[in-house]
Each structure stands twice: as C-alpha cells, then as structure tokens.
Amino acid sequence: MAAICAMFFAFCILHSELPQTTQPATTTSQPAADLATRLDAKIDDAMEKLRLSSVAVGVIREKDVVYRAARGFANREKSEPATCDTLYGIGSITKTFTTTLLVMLRDDGVLALDDPISKYLPSDLPLPTSTRGDRQITLRHLATHSSGLPRVPPNLVALLPDPYGGYSVDDLYKGLGATGLIAPIGAKCAYSNLGVGLLGHLLERAASKGYDELLQTRIFGPLEMTNSFPRPTPELLIRMARPYKGERCEKDAHTWTFDVLAPAGSIVSSVNDMMKYVALQFRAGDAIETPIRGGSLAELHRPQRLLDERWSAAVGLGWHITPDRKIGEIVWHNGGLDGFHSFVGFCAKKRVGVVVLTNCDRDIDGLAMEILKLAAIGD
C-alpha cells in the first residue's frame, strides 16, 4: 500500500485503441464544458503514456459533479469497458475511513484520541514501548503515523500474491510482542500499515462491533455508497475490475484479500461512490451532526504533524496535507495495491475535489493532482 508517493508520473508510449466514456455531469455551463474538453485531452494523453488498462475519473464542486469519465477496459480479456460504477480496490485511501470512524466513536464518547492502545487490548499482551518506558502509544499516534511502529509487522510473511491475506488477530498479537520501534513514540512520522490496521482492530474492540459493520452503518449507509464494500469477498471479485501489472500492464495481478489489517487498505469502491465521500469533506466546519460532526471533519483535515520545517507537507488524522500557493491546502490520500492505484484529493478553499481510479500498477498521483489544480483554477 502506498505511502506519500511521488507527485509526477513516468511517461510511456501508446499501446492500443481503448473505449471511452464521458458521462454527463450535473452542471452544463460553458465553463464546465470547457473544463471537460481539457480534462478529456489530459486523460486521453495519460492513457497513452502510462499504458493504462482503464482509468475512471470524477471531479466535484460542492455537491455537484462537474466531470466524470471512464477510459479503457475493466477487463481486457472480456473487452469489458470501464465505467464510473466499475469497482476498484482503493488501497490505503481506506485509512481515511478508519480515522473517520475514530473521530465518530470519539464524538459518541466511546473513546478518546489520546487513550493508550493498552486500554483496548488484553492486559497481558506485551506491547512495544520506548526504551525508557516513559510513553505509551495512543490512538492519535496510530492515526498520525507517529507511533514508531514499522510499516508492516515483523511476523508478516509476505506470501505473494496475497501478502496480507490470512494475517489473523492471533498473528497481530504475537507480532506486537516482537515488534521493535523504529523511532521513539511521537518523535517522527513513519508511514505504517501496521499502525492503522491495529487502529481499526482497536475500534472494533472499543465499539464491540466489527470493522465491516462500522463502515456500513456509520459511513457507507448514511452516504448512500451502495457500490462500496469493506473488502473484496470471493463473490465481489467477479464484479471488480481485473487488476494488471507489468511494463505494458499486460500481466495479470492479484486482488489482495485482508484479514485483521483490513482497516489499512481493504475497501472496494467506484468513482461515483467516492465522489459522495469527497462531497462530505466539503461540510467540514458546518453545523452538521450526521453522519459526522462538521467540526470533527475539520479536525481530520487539520495538520497534526508537520513533515518538515518549511511546512511543505503535513499529516492530519489519516489524511496527507500539501499546501499550494495557487489554490490553498490540498488534502489527499492515495492507494496502491497489486494491480490497482487510486487517488482522492480536494481543495477546501476552492471547494473542488477529484477521484482517480485505475486497474494498473501505475502511479497516477501526478495525473490526479493536475486534474485537481486544473479544475480549481480553470474557471
């Protein structure tokens, strides 16, 4: 799963003729039409240069979808064209859903962000501590990648093609006891799939409900994300885009399954559904209570940890934050799985957001950022 990835994509050459679908947006003004023309050209160019099997893109302003389009094949072997309802693995974007559940449960009085993780684990479970033993890892540390935990558990045997499948609660507990911190607790940010996977497990124990149920009842249901699922089940694999990898995205990849670390990267969704999730983010600070308080949304997007002294990047509660001189702060997350890559980002100042999903192991962050900036300043 992807950490903070490079913002620019590598250029490749044309590989084939691909189906194209630009679906009508809800806004039909002349500026929107001009934007669509420019975005069509940019996406077509990226399809050629990145050799993508498919890409699905959505752009939203406030509650209005101003652009959505799909290019290429969800399944080349079946000549099945991609649409904006095609299902993709969104990988580490899942982490933002996990931290959203965290603040929801906080608002319910179930937990506090600065609770030590030991509060929600068996009392006899050995846990990683700093060398002096003067600090404990908290839920906030996990949500901001500042726990000192490594990227993956030391006892995770990456059995390809499904490295996270079968890693159970028992494995997690055994791994925690054998984990050495890579930095003092709270001292620095180090991206950790283990940390957010553990966070989701702690939310289950605090709420006495499974992660899948929490997602469905607290986020998917209220937002009417009817085409989103907590993890790829065997039945769901038939409906999902087929993942590809290789220099020309010509090789079959493998859809990862998840066990206890699902909260770090398991969600399956579509562009149309993910735009509903982006629209929710624009209500940060509003006087709303459901499905999440407006103030809590703003807290998720607020920088919690600066990544350098120049304030060129920061981490919120699960989100990455990048300042931009032209359009203001960009709040975003990406995801990378075997054969899938994804990006969600938005600019609160311009009230513009973008979703980009592909079924190839290609970094599409640069493309997504260009689309976001074009939509933000293209009026």
Whether 180 shows a pLDDT value over 80: the answer reads yes
142 in the same domain as 78: no
pLDDT digits (tens, 9 = 90+) for 232-282: 999 999 999 999 999 999 999 999 999 999 999 999 999 999 999 999 999
Alpha helix segments (H runs only) across 162-306? 169-177, 193-207, 211-215, 234-237, 271-281, 294-301
Position 4 in a domain = no
149 in the same domain as 231: no
CATH number at residue 243: 3.40.710.10
Given a contact cutoff of 8 angstroms between Cβ atoms, the answer to whether 306 and 298 are in contact is no
269 in the same domain as 127: no
pLDDT digits (tens, 9 = 90+) for 102-155: 999 999 999 999 999 999 999 999 999 876 666 899 999 999 999 999 999 999
**Residue 7 vs residue 54, higher pLDDT:** 54
Position 27 in a domain = yes
Phi/psi at 86 (5° precision): -60, 140
**CA–CA separation, 222 and 252 (whole Å):** 35
350 in the same domain as 302: yes
Whether 157 shows a pLDDT value over 90: the answer reads no
Secondary structure (DSSP) of 310-374: T-S-EE-SS-EEE--TTT--EEEEEEEETTEEEEEEEETTTTEEEEEEESBS---HHHHHHHHHH
DSSP reduced 3-state for 56: strand
Question: 182, 209, 236 — which closes off a domain?
Answer: 209
327 in the same domain as 220: yes
368 in the same domain as 265: yes
State the DSSP H helix or E strand holding residue 268, giving kind and residue range, or none if neither. strand 268-269
Phi/psi at 332 (5° precision): -155, 165
348 in the same domain as 269: yes
Instruction: Please tell me the predicted confidence (pLDDT) of residue 134.
Output: 66
**Chain centre to alpha carbon of residue 24:** 26
- pLDDT tier, 23 (very low <50, low <70, confident <90, very high otherwise): low
Given a contact cutoff of 8 angstroms between Cβ atoms, the answer to whether 61 and 351 are in contact is yes
pLDDT digits (tens, 9 = 90+) for 25-45: 444 444 667 899 999 999 999
Instruction: Please tell me the predicted confidence (pLDDT) of residue 133.
Output: 65
Kind of pairing, strands 305-306 and 20-23? unpaired
- pLDDT tier, 310 (very low <50, low <70, confident <90, very high otherwise): confident
pLDDT digits (tens, 9 = 90+) for 167-179: 999 999 999 999 9
Whether 59 shows a pLDDT value over 90: the answer reads yes
Position 287 in a domain = yes
State the DSSP H helix or E strand holding residue 125, giving kind and residue range, or none if neither. none
Q: Above pLDDT 90, what percent of the chain? A: 85
Position 301 in a domain = yes
Position 1 in a domain = no
In the chain the first and final C-alpha atoms are separated, in Å, by 35
Position 360 in a domain = yes
Mean pLDDT of the chain, nearest integer: 91
Instruction: Please tell me the predicted confidence (pLDDT) of residue 62.
Output: 87
Instruction: Please tell me the predicted confidence (pLDDT) of residue 18.
Output: 45
Tell me how many domains the chain contains: 2
pLDDT digits (tens, 9 = 90+) for 347-370: 999 999 999 999 999 999 999 999
Question: 209, 234, 253 — which closes off a domain?
Answer: 209
Whether 13 shows a pLDDT value over 80: the answer reads no
222 in the same domain as 75: yes
86 in the same domain as 124: no
149 in the same domain as 82: no
Position 163 in a domain = yes
pLDDT digits (tens, 9 = 90+) for 73-91: 999 999 999 999 999 999 9
Enclosing domain of residue 257: 20-93+213-377
**CA–CA separation, 248 and 241 (whole Å):** 17
**CA–CA separation, 120 and 128 (whole Å):** 15
Secondary structure (DSSP) of 137-190: -BHHHHHTT-S---SS-TT----TT-TTTT--HHHHHHHHHTPPPSS-TTTS--
> For the whole model, what pTM was predicted?
0.92
Position 5 in a domain = no
Cβ neighbours around 367 below 10 Å, total = 27
Question: 153, 178, 209 — which closes off a domain?
Answer: 209
State the DSSP H helix or E strand holding residue 96, giving kind and residue range, or none if neither. helix 94-107
254 in the same domain as 356: yes
Burial class (CB in 10 A: 0-12, 13-18, 19+), 58: buried
342 in the same domain as 249: yes
